[in-house]
Amino acid sequence: MQFVNVMHASYADGVERVPQNINLADLYPWCYEQLIVKGVPVNVKRMTDLPPEADLDRMSWDAISTLSFLKLWI
C-alpha cells in the first residue's frame, strides 16, 4: 500500500484540519482501494450511499463532518 497524503483540502469554518502528513489510506481504505488500486473515481452524494465495506471510511468522514465528496485520481 502506498503512502497517500493530503495535497489540497478545503474546510468549512470550525472544521479541524487533517494533518498533511497523515496516511489517508489508513483512514479511508475502501476509497483507497477504489481510487488508487482500481482507478475508479468515487462520487458520494450522501454518506448512506457508501457500501458496508466502507464503514471505516464513513467514520473518518463523519469525524470531519463530510456530507458528500468527489475523488479523482489524475
Q: Dump pLDDT digits (tens) for 46-72.
A: 888 889 999 998 888 887 777 666 565
> What's the pTM value of the predicted model, to 2 decimals?
0.70
Query: In 3-state terms, what secondary structure has residue 3?
Result: coil
Instruction: Read off the C-alpha cell for 8.
Output: 489540497
pLDDT top residue among 34 and 6: 34
Residue 36: the pLDDT is 83
Region 42-47 average pLDDT: 82
Kind plus residue range of the DSSP H or E element containing 27? helix 24-27
